[in-house]
Amino acid sequence: MSRKITVLGSTGSVGRQSLEVIAACGMEAAALAANSNVRLMEEQVRKHRPALAALADEKAAADLRVRLADTSVRVAGGLEGVLEAATFGRADTVIAALVGMAGLRPTLASIREGKRVCLANKETLVCAGPLVLEEAIDYGAKIYPVDSEHSALFQCLEANRDRGEVKRLILTCSGGPFYGKKREELARITVADALKHPNWSMGAKITVDSATLMNKGLEVMEAMHLYRMPAEKISVVVHRESIIHSLVEYCDNAMIAQLGAPDMRLPIQYALTYPERVPGPSIPLDLWNCGPLTFGTPDMTAFPCLALALEAAKTGGTAGAILNGANEGAVAQFLAGKIGFLDIPAKVEKALSQIKAVQNPSMQDILDADQAAREAVG
């Protein structure tokens, strides 16, 4: 099972935890790529000794090249550098953990090399699911989910012989930091409030998406493509404790759930080692002290991003790219203090209403929809 791994997005939350798993499981980090965090990339390179390190920001890459002049590590820059890491010949496996739409082209590049792709970038499937899955078949690439919810579904579906037996997929949702609040209360939410997730330690963008419930909507769209299920057969349940990571309900009404501590290292490791299981660094679940488990219905009036995502899922085509592009733009504005929390769904809804979705889109249609959505939110 010895694997040589490229980590795309190595300086992010998933990337950092991936490197922990790689080290703990005796694997090799063959190449690392990130956006612009020179300091952390230098630390990672010196610790894990990849053959290649890439930063999308050209100036940051030039700085890194100087910092690593005393090593044999090759430093690449710009999009071409990230694509070089994504297709690095020495690696058989790629962890795709770049944030947002920026992960689409590198992930596709890895797929076209027939690599094992451990997918943490849900936007790749949200924006271009049919195209990505078709290319995976054409090039013989295998895609394994890294998101905790999709890893849980993947594991629960291992008990399945025929997808016709599946009644529905049930994604669990922590509810974020504002569960139970009414819409009028959310008008006063600050950036600092939104970044306080109750269970998970994540990057700023995904933490805000979790607060608006957009993240769960994106996960529904991702599940549609990963498991070839219509939106009508995917449900969301609020589970505040984040102990049950998702469930599959079968036609006989039996449910199979996957449980674990809220620790991303477990789904990362399973994607890397599947079909084997090995000891690793994740935290064990203490059933005797984890407390009662609760379940509830998501409030789509207070958190309309989930409803917008479900509607985009039903529309299909470039609706996913429009939704995602508008959301990325609006979240960036919120994090910069330029708009309020409730302006995020308002701007996403505006983009969806203004831009016509194209069915059976080409890659250019997807890129155009993304750009139009970002322009629509300002």
Q: Which of 281, 316, 351 is the last residue of a domain?
A: 316
| Cross-strand pairs, 249 | 168, 255
Q: What's the number of domains the chain is made of?
A: 2
303-362 residue pLDDT tens: 999 999 999 999 999 999 999 999 999 999 999 999 999 999 999 999 999 999 999 999
Task: Note whether residue 354 is domain-resident.
Answer: no
22 and 108 part of one domain: yes
pLDDT in tens, 244-290: 999 999 999 999 999 999 999 999 999 999 999 999 999 999 999 99
Q: What is the pLDDT of residues 159-209, one digit of tens each?
A: 888 888 999 999 999 998 999 999 999 999 999 989 887 776 678 898 999
Containing structural domain, residue 96 = 4-145
Summarised one tens digit per residue, pLDDT across range 54-108 is 999 999 999 999 999 999 999 999 999 999 999 999 999 999 999 889 999 999 9
What integer pLDDT is reported at residue 202 of this predicted model?
Answer: 74
Query: What is the Cα–Cα distance from 352 to 129, expressed in whole angstroms?
Result: 18
Q: Distance (Å, rounded) from C-alpha 85 to C-alpha 56?
A: 11
Residue 254 is assigned to a structural domain of this protein: yes
> Which pTM does this prediction carry?
0.93
Number of Cβ atoms within 10 Å of the Cβ of 183: 12
What is the 3-class SS of 229-245, one letter each residue? Answer: CCHHHEEEEECCCCCEE
Residue 359 lies in a domain: no
Same domain, 137 and 166: no
> DSSP states of 4-28 as a string?
EEEEETTTSHHHHHHHHHHHHTT-E
User: Cα separation of 56 and 323, whole Å?
Assistant: 24
Alpha-carbon gap, residue 18 to 148, rounded angstroms:
13
Quote the pLDDT of residue 200. Answer: 67
Tell me the CATH number at 89: 3.40.50.720
The overall longest dimension of the chain from CA atoms, in Å, is 63
What DSSP string runs through 32-49?
EEESS-HHHHHHHHHHH-
Residues 45, 73 contacting (CB under 8 angstroms): yes
List, for residues 105-137, the tens digit of each pLDDT value. Answer: 999 999 999 999 999 999 999 999 999 999 999
Strand partners, 75: 53
Residues 189 and 163 in one domain: yes
Complete edge-to-edge strand list for the sheet that includes strand 234-238: 234-238, 166-173, 244-250, 255-259
Those residues with Cβ within 8 angstroms of residue 59's Cβ, 6 or more apart along the chain or in another chain: none
Q: 248 and 208 share a domain?
A: yes
Please indicate, yes or no, whether residues 57 and 139 belong to a single structural domain of this protein: yes
pLDDT of residue 1: 66
CB-based contact 102:81 (threshold 8 Å): no
Handedness of CA 285, 98, 344, 363 (dihedral sign): negative
Domain boundary among 145, 170, 188: 145
Q: Are residues 262 and 128 in the same domain?
A: no
Distance CA 341, CA 182 (A): 13
Any bridge partners for residue 8, and if so which? 33, 96
Collapsing DSSP to helix, strand or coil, 170 comes out as: strand
Query: Does 154 share its domain with 302?
Result: yes
Quick check: is 272 in a domain?
yes
* Final residue of a structural domain among 145, 163, 195: 145
Which among 276, 291, 153 is positioned nearest to 222, based on CA atoms? Answer: 153
Helix (H, G, I), strand (E, B) or coil at 106: helix
State whether 85 and 195 are in the same domain.
no
